[in-house]
Amino acid sequence: MTQRGVRKTRGRWRQSMKIHIAKTAGFCMGVRRAMNMTMGAVKKYNPPIYTFGPLIHNAQALDILKERGVSIINHIPDKTTAAVIIRAHGVPPKIKHQLAGAAQYLLDATCPRVIEVQTIIAAHAARGYSAIIAGDPDHPEVVGLLGYAKNRGHVIDSIEALGALPHFEKSIIVAQTTQNISFFNDVKKWAAAVRPHYKLFDTICNSTSRRQAEVTEMAQFGDIFIVVGGKNSGNTKRLAQIARQSGKPVHHIETEAEIDIHQIKAFENICITAGASTPNWVIQKVVEKIESAI
């Protein structure tokens, strides 16, 4: 039997075999909003329609958008009558201003949770604060957040990098919205002990928190993890990382084609989770392949 959630279920094929699907697997609010906005633009505006950078980090979802006439651009276009959509990860304010001047129709699909972090950084930068961002330096969300720090932004991806920063008179600490909760907790402990005058903001989104907590919960009874999502998706990679910390085997896949049934059929409890940009139909195909082969 396949169960959405972490409760144990009775086996359907043989008595010992169970599949557990994380309740949190699949699109988060921000990704769903970005996809709906883009699909709405397809109906409202004449082609071509562009997204500035990949809208989300999932190749299968992007293929669907491409089939509907949505193309990806990575440069500021000349004056255009096309609709341009800002990716869910957001962009620096300078880029947003340039896009507004170039596109006749500009839609902002930035996740509302990311906008909250942008606002915090911008408000404090205007008052002379530095901004320390716990995140992946090359991730588009982090690149966008840095743009709001007025050249006083610093990205750290380890406690060592945090300790190597100069001592700021005024600074805030925020996190990439999909950051590892355990790492950010370590950052907060460091700040409390070493820089207690820094202002801390818990900016990891609730969806990320719930997903990571559920993986930890599933690890208490799971024998193997299958993590479904883009190989370039930060939040998906972190789910795989947290699952590996349990010592259980972990397979990070993008589609059902990557599943090796022989590697998983011997396990009793198969746990499936997925990143915030993974479509439900991709997850369902993974489940169906397992079901059909066992």
Cα atoms in the Cβ-side hemisphere of radius 13 Å centred on 10: 1
Cα 158 to its chain centre, rounded Å, is 19
Residues catalogued as catalytic = 141
234: which residues sit within 8 A by CB, 6+ positions away? Answer: 57, 136, 139, 141, 176, 178
Cα atoms in the Cβ-side hemisphere of radius 13 Å centred on 80: 22
Quick one: DSSP state of residue 276?
A: T
Furthest CA-CA distance within the chain: 64
Kindly tell me the number of DSSP H helices and DSSP E strands found in the chain: 11, 13
Give residue for tokens 């499936």: 272
226, 259 in Cβ contact below 8 A? yes
Cα 199 to its chain centre, rounded Å, is 24
Q: Encoding tokens for residue 191?
A: 């700040």
Quick one: DSSP state of residue 148?
A: T
Cα atoms in the Cβ-side hemisphere of radius 13 Å centred on 264: 28
